[in-house]
Structure 1
């Protein structure tokens, strides 16, 4: 294939990409405006939301508790199962209570509610 054809194809691809990129600021502006309305389900806040990664880890930890030995790299036997389940259950409690507290705190900030003791609620509900 002649070199000029390759160069023309590259230029055409570049121009098409450039045209698309010029539309991005308009799309971003539209998205930002939509989040300023009452109908927007707004999670933009200084208070952090529950973490998707942490929720996945909660599920992974729960699986290790429900099915000891199947989802771990360590060996579980009758001697160490109590220790293992104690460690996993404690870790699960802390992960769940933290995520609940984050959800409660986010709602307090979002709806300008008085302090609802989110950490305490997280522990109680977990």
Structure 2
């Protein structure tokens, strides 16, 4: 390959041409956010710090330097919660500012106080989030023979990290916090490969074994004591369109999974269907119709071979 030496003028001309093209409003009008001076922007780094701090509060002794001595733990909790309140208030405010359609009509100080109120509402719910996560950890520990301890589950299992982010994000979404819940959910998705939309409704004692490739859509409803394996998709089959041919937002389009259901690896369940309680969905199956309670859905060839061997499924 022949390398051509370029003159300084030619190099500057190419750079200036790119700058002009990049500054052309027609090239960025759909993806540009006009920022108001003085308003905070959402920060991935700060949100990561917030999630890590919440994890430290919810699982004391596992993350950070929280002391478990009875005479100091309340002090540590107070310090962490105070810092969490400040950071979370700022990021909630940033989300409110970022998504506001008419910022000139909103009083900034009033919006700031509103963000602080939402942050305090979330902190008030932290004990309940911990209670649910304790149930998730216990379910993962009891249900996995490879787990040596609850500590191993908390430290090592990607499902607990993803479910923790989900329960944090879901509560923020229920409080009406914009944008921030989705960012927190996508943090876990990037880190673990488990994609749980914060709008999904997930009951207690929930667990995901292995986890990579799991997708749970925004309008999913999942009951209590449900277990998923890697690669499970709870997705949408089709998208209703409006008169202009655009997808209609907010329509329930993902599955309902009732209590005590197990869904094995790579199963794909699509549409607003119901998987009845106490059912088992085998691996690599495609389900687009309602499944009655107490059902077992498996691939026909696998079932046939199993019965021929006298094993049953």
Give the alignment's TM-score, normalised by structure 1: 0.67
Which residue number corresponds to residue 116 of structure 2? 123
| Post-superposition CA distance 1:60-110 (Å, at most 9, x none) | 111111111111135432221111112111211111111112332345586
Which residue number corresponds to residue 93 of structure 1? 85
Q: Quick one: which of 18, 22, 31 aligns to 1:27?
A: 18
Give yes or no for contact 1:64–1:71 (8 Å, CA) kept in 2: yes
> What's the CA shift for 1:22?
4.8
More helix per residue: 1
Give yes or no for contact 1:51–1:99 (8 Å, CA) kept in 2: yes
> What's the CA shift for 1:37?
5.9
Give yes or no for contact 2:60–2:66 (8 Å, CA) kept in 1: no
Which residue number corresponds to residue 63 of structure 1? 55
* CA–CA separation in structure 1 for the residues paired with 2:61 and 2:4: 53
Higher RCO, 1 vs 2 (CA within 8 Å, ≥6 residues apart): 1
1:21–1:65 Cα change, 3 Å: farther
* CA–CA separation in structure 2 for the residues paired with 1:84 and 1:33: 52
Q: Secondary structure, in 3 states, of the residue corresponding to 2:61? A: coil
Give the alignment's TM-score, normalised by structure 2: 0.31
1:35–1:59 Cα change, 3 Å: farther
What RMSD, in angstroms, separates the aligned Cα atoms of the two structures? Answer: 3.4
